[in-house]
Amino acid sequence: MDENVKVELVEKYDKCLDVDTMQLRILHLEEYNKTLMQKIENLEVRLAKYTNGDNHKRYYEKNKNKIKESGTAYLQKLKTDNPEKLKEYSRNAYEKKKNKKKMEDDLSKLQAEEALFNESDTNKVVA
């Protein structure tokens, strides 16, 4: 259906308050909803080809040195052009690393406590 036809149908059914026409409108809307859902599914499948493929991984594996060089060139340019931005990047990286280490430490403590708890439960069952 063309968009103009859809708009006309909606306007036509909005003017009528008859039960039959409302049921027809509901049916048309349900049909339209199904077609939109099918379009969404098709687009998601097509999008997956570009986002989930191995092409990205292979590209970075092949051009690893080129990417590293461009990254270092960008950092050198950043040192001269905007040293404050470089400090911000460093600070963010440090904070992220610190938070990650803290999360890992907390997780290991939790696992150790859980192991002790489970060990004490097994001792109670045996005794």
For the chain, the structural domain boundaries read 3-50, 53-126
The pLDDT of residue 115: 85
* pLDDT tens figures, 57-106: 888 889 999 999 999 999 899 899 999 998 999 999 999 999 999 999 99
Six token digits for residue 85? 């931005």
The alpha-carbon radius of gyration of the chain (Å, integer) is 30
The residue among 38 and 118 whose pLDDT is bigger is 38
pLDDT at residue 40 tops 90:
yes
Average pLDDT (50-55) is: 76
Indicate if the alpha-carbon torsion angle 10, 13, 19, 25 is positive or negative.
negative
Question: 83-126 and 64-81 are packed helices; what angle lies between their axes, rounded to 10 degrees?
Answer: 120
Query: Which amino acid would we find at residue 57?
Result: K
pLDDT at residue 126 tops 60:
no
The pLDDT of residue 5: 67
The pLDDT of residue 9: 66
Average pLDDT (31-55) is: 89
* Strand residue runs (E) in the chain: none
Position of tokens 């939790």?
Answer: 110
- Rounded Cα distance between 59 and 38, Å, is 32
* % of the chain surpassing 70 pLDDT: 82
pLDDT, averaged across the chain? 85
Which of 40, 120, 64, 50 shows the shortest CA–CA distance to 72? 64
| C-beta of residue 86 within 8 angstroms of C-beta of residue 75 | yes
pLDDT at residue 13 tops 70:
no
Which of 2, 1, 72 shows the shortest CA–CA distance to 31? 1
